[in-house]
Amino acid sequence: MSASDVLIEPTSHGVNILKSAAPILVGIALAVGIQFLLPSTVGPYYSRLVIDAGIAMILAVSLNIVNGMTGQFSIGHAGFMTIGAYTAGSITFYSSLLIWGTAAKHGSFLGSGEWMFVIACLCGGITASIAGFVVGLPSLRLRGDYLAIVTLGFGEILRVLLQQTGKVVDNAEIVRNAPLTTFATVPVGGAIGFDGIPKYTTLFWVYAFLAITVIFAYRLKRSSFGRAMLSVREDEIAAQAMGINTSRQKLLAFITAAFFAGVGGGLLAHESGVIISPKDAGFQRSFDYVIMTVLGGRGSITGVMLAAILLSGLPEVLRDFERYRIIIYAALLIFMMLSRPQGLFGIHEIWDFFPRSWKTLPWKKSPREEAQ
Amino acid sequence: MADFLQTLMTALAIGSLYALIALGYTMVYGVLKFINFAHSDIVVLGAWLSYSFAIRALPLVGLDAHNPATPPPIWMTAGIFVAVLLLCSLAGFLIERLAYRPLRRAPRLNVLITAIGVSLLLQNVGQLDFVFGASPQKMPALLPNWELPIQFGQGESIRYVVLPLIDCIIFAVSGLLMLALELLIFRTKFGTALRAVSFNTDFAALMGIPVDRAISLTFMLGSALAGAAGFLYVLKFPSMNQPAHSVWVLLGLKAFVAAVVGGIGNIRGAVLGGFIIAFVEQFGAYYISSNYRDVYVFSLLILILLIKPTGLLGSPVREKV
């Protein structure tokens, strides 16, 4: 039996669907496990850190689609996140006021309030992806640094515009009776931020969305779309010569990345203890995610996830040295760039570093052994 | 008319500050092709060094350090200015030598990230108690606050345009510095070497130009200009924010936008861009709404990039396979 025969196994259609759905099912099962086991074992403080790390991973993995896989340097990712956050936040806040008369959390785990929250997050993602399309358009004309500057300008413009929005209307009666013109001021809190969004974000939802994001990114990377994106990163002119529509790939990368950033923003807006504010759209926050993708390695999904965990955990480890925290953080960053410029994993995934014997399950023979 | 002239004068003073900072961005981009995010922190360094020198120097001539009754003698102000210039160029030299030179052959993205790291490092080292501290301060006045009122109209409709001395000094000093830079770049042997490095680093090295030394000098020149801008900035706006405050970052960003609008890598473009950005910002703030002043600047940036991606005076880059 030759190696190629092993790969083509006759399977029925149903088994194929089951096989492709398996990672998502595993991811959601893990999310349920985290939701019910983690808070009781590590307590609320560390649970919050785990939520933060999960949201950071969603944002870093999505940014990696643009920066790492397609090689377009975007430093406006926090802008997309903020658009998603404000959209999702205003949907849950004002719908809660209209439906239940109060903006407090409604319903228990997987109750009606939580489903509204999920739909709001998805709406946030869609709004953000529309913004991604608009911001991606200049990428057809601009390259490298210039594109970076445009994305930076986008984030800053968004920050200033959000600062000029109106006050939050937190009275159900006023919201019900107000004419539509009241909403022309976009009542999302102005410079002080959008306070009062119901706090729906739980470990389960963060890790369920993270599972979807990671599986999507991984499958994208292995698909023909993903390979086209990688080729745009490696050499745009060569990719064009091979018949790849580079404009379309770049736009697609921006749209998908912005979608997941918007969903991540929705999760962030509903996290307890977080008040989403215009400052989040600025470039300083975008830099955090750029640094994660660079430290993780260009296009390496697992590397970026590891970097996101490390960087969102590092400030907590250094909490006792409050004053020196960012100094150490910055020094580490410079040291990392000087000593390992390709990032933690380079272009590889974490399993590329495992010993060969781990990669085949013990009860399965490797293709090479079968061939012998 | 009077309002217009008043806005014009503010725009000219602020425009020359933007131009001074933009020159540093554009010179570094010209030779190394990367955005030096740490440049705005040199401006902050210049501003805070001016403050530290001023409060230590003022008691020497018998004046109150924080609230001098009369401005100090002119030689002291000039001395502080020169000291700030020298220390800032030293800082620029050290940053290039320690952080950027080891990455000369690395991908540009890595250099960019390193620049962000250097920027974070400088901001937060500056916030430490034994450096500059993390609270806002008020810069003591180093120049007499003379103002020249110019009269407009007659009788009922009489209006005054106030021309402060500090605005004239900002305009004159930055004008002189820019002229000196222009002469240095276009009239001296060193300037020719610099332009050669900017044109093609490898060929410049083959022609016997010491590339590393030229790059170091570029950083020192750019940082000295940034230090000068910091000094002049705090003379005009004496209430200083702490080193990591976002006001400083925004100042740097606008100067950077100025460099891009004028055509990054182009010395004259940076000056032009600085004035354009200041005009758009000041006139927009006065005639439309001051809430959106940052929006005008960044919208102009995106507009210019879409119409002429290399900036107003930038030369088009041809891509070769």
Interface predicted TM-score (ipTM) of this complex, two decimals: 0.80
- CA B115/CA B127 separation, integer angstroms: 18
Per-residue model confidence (pLDDT) at position A351: 79
Query: Among all chains, which residue has been given the structure tokens 């093609």?
Result: B200
Q: Which of B106, B295, B319 faces A161 most closely, judged by CB atoms? A: B295
Q: Which residues pair with A276 in a beta bridge?
A: A194
Partner-chain contact B121 A331, CB within 8 Å: yes
Q: Once rounded to an integer, what is the mean pLDDT over residues B226-245?
A: 90
SS3 (DSSP) at A370: helix
Does B316 score more than 90 pLDDT? no
pLDDT in tens, B249-281: 889 889 999 998 998 888 889 999 999 999 999
- CA A138/CA B305 separation, integer angstroms: 9
Partner-chain contact B114 A142, CB within 8 Å: no
Partner-chain contact A330 B110, CB within 8 Å: no
The answer to whether the CB of A339 falls within 8 A of the CB of A324 is: no
CB-based contacts of A360: which residues, under 8 Å, 6+ apart? A366
Does B112 score more than 60 pLDDT? yes
Does B109 score more than 80 pLDDT? no
pLDDT band, very low/low/confident/very high, at B245 (cuts 50, 70, 90): confident
Tokens describing residue B292: 């959106």
A138 CA to chain B: closest CA distance, Å? 7
The answer to whether the CB of B259 falls within 8 A of the CB of B25 is: yes
A323 interfacial to chain B (CB closer than 8 Å): yes
Residue to test with chain B: of A73, A145, A295, A347, most B Cβ within 10 A: A145
B41 CA to chain A: closest CA distance, Å? 14
- CA A92/CA A96 separation, integer angstroms: 6
A334 CA to chain B: closest CA distance, Å? 5
Region label for B33, one of left (φ > 0), alpha (ψ between -120 and 50) or beta (otherwise): left
Q: Which residue of B has its CA nearest to A327?
A: B121
Residues 6-65 of A with CB under 8 A from B: none
Q: Which of B102, B116, B123 faces A338 most closely, judged by CB atoms? A: B102
Which burial class, exposed, middle or buried, applies to A351 when counting CB atoms under 10 A from its CB (0-12, 13-18, 19+)?
exposed
Partner-chain contact A294 B109, CB within 8 Å: yes
A172 interfacial to chain B (CB closer than 8 Å): no
Region label for A273, one of left (φ > 0), alpha (ψ between -120 and 50) or beta (otherwise): left
Per-residue model confidence (pLDDT) at position A272: 84
- Which helix (H) or strand (E) segment holds residue A301: the answer is helix A301-317
- CA B234/CA B43 separation, integer angstroms: 10
Query: Among all chains, which residue has been given the structure tokens 């790492």?
Result: A68
CB-based contacts of A287: which residues, under 8 Å, 6+ apart? A75, B116
B300 interfacial to chain A (CB closer than 8 Å): no
The answer to whether the CB of A345 falls within 8 A of the CB of A303 is: yes
Cβ neighbours of B116 in A, within 8 Å:
287, 290-291, 333
Buried b (16+ CB within 10 A) or exposed e, B187-215: eeeebebbbbbbeebeebeeeebebeebb
Q: Which of A73, A148, A164 faces B291 most closely, judged by CB atoms? A: A164
The answer to whether the CB of B258 falls within 8 A of the CB of B23 is: no
Q: Which residue of A has its CA nearest to B125?
A: A327
Partner-chain contact A157 B294, CB within 8 Å: yes
B128 interfacial to chain A (CB closer than 8 Å): yes
B117 CA to chain A: closest CA distance, Å? 5
Note the Cα B320 to chain centre separation in Å: 34
Using alpha carbons, select from B275, B290, B301 the residue that is nearest to residue B17.
B275
Partner-chain contact B301 A323, CB within 8 Å: no
B44 CA to chain A: closest CA distance, Å? 17
Per-residue model confidence (pLDDT) at position A110: 77
| Cα-based distances in Å from B184 to A338, B118, B248 | 33, 28, 29
Per-residue model confidence (pLDDT) at position B319: 57
Q: What is the 3-state secondary structure (H, E, C) of chain B?
A: CHHHHHHHHHHHHHHHHHHHHHHHHHHHHHHHCCCCCCHHHHHHHHHHHHHHHHHHHHHHHCCCCCCCCCCCCHHHHHHHHHHHHHHHHHHHHHHHHHHHHHHCCCCHHHHHHHHHHHHHHHHHHHCCCCCCCCCCEECCCCCCCCEEEEEECCHHHCEEEEEEHHHHHHHHHHHHHHHHHHHHHHHCHHHHHHHHHHHCHHHHHHCCCCHHHHHHHHHHHHHHHHHHHHHHHHHHCCEECCCCCHHHHHHHHHHHHHHHHHCCCCHHHHHHHHHHHHHHHHHHHHHCCHHHHHHHHHHHHHHHHHHCCCCCCCCCCCCCC
pLDDT in tens, B159-169: 788 888 888 99
- pTM score of the predicted model: 0.84
Per-residue model confidence (pLDDT) at position A370: 57
- All residue ranges of chain A with pLDDT < 50 are 1-5
Q: Which of B113, B123, B306 faces A291 most closely, judged by CB atoms? A: B113
The letter for the amino acid at B236 is K
Per-residue model confidence (pLDDT) at position A265: 95
Using alpha carbons, select from A281, A341, A265, A154 the residue that is nearest to residue B117.
A341
Cβ neighbours of B114 in A, within 8 Å:
333-334, 337-338
Does B173 score more than 80 pLDDT? yes
Does B243 score more than 70 pLDDT? yes
Q: Which of A153, A161, A287 faces B302 most closely, judged by CB atoms? A: A153
Q: Which residue of A has its CA nearest to B102?
A: A338
Where are the alpha helices (H) located in A223-300, listed in sequence order?
224-234, 236-241, 246-269, 283-296
Residue to test with chain B: of A69, A142, A162, A334, most B Cβ within 10 A: A334
Per-residue model confidence (pLDDT) at position A7: 52
- CA A176/CA A94 separation, integer angstroms: 10
Query: Among all chains, which residue has been given the structure tokens 């590397």?
Result: A303
DSSP letter assigned to residue A271: S
Q: Once rounded to an integer, what is the mean pLDDT over residues B138-148?
A: 84
Least confident of A169-183, B174-188, B202-216: A169-183
Partner-chain contact A144 B99, CB within 8 Å: no
Cβ neighbours of A291 in B, within 8 Å:
113, 116
Domain A22-280 adopts which CATH fold? ABC transporter involved in vitamin B12 uptake, BtuC (1.10.3470)
A257 CA to chain B: closest CA distance, Å? 19
The answer to whether the CB of B243 falls within 8 A of the CB of B283 is: no
Tokens describing residue B212: 């590393």
| Cα-based distances in Å from B32 to A215, B35, B184, B198, B211 | 39, 9, 19, 8, 11
Query: Among all chains, which residue has been given the structure tokens 């440049």?
Result: B39
Per-residue model confidence (pLDDT) at position A1: 45
The answer to whether the CB of A292 falls within 8 A of the CB of A62 is: no
Per-residue model confidence (pLDDT) at position A361: 59
pLDDT in tens, A58-84: 999 999 999 888 888 888 899 999 999
SS3 (DSSP) at A194: strand
Cβ neighbours of A160 in B, within 8 Å:
291-292, 294-295
A145 interfacial to chain B (CB closer than 8 Å): yes
CB-based contacts of A100: which residues, under 8 Å, 6+ apart? A106
pLDDT band, very low/low/confident/very high, at B144 (cuts 50, 70, 90): confident
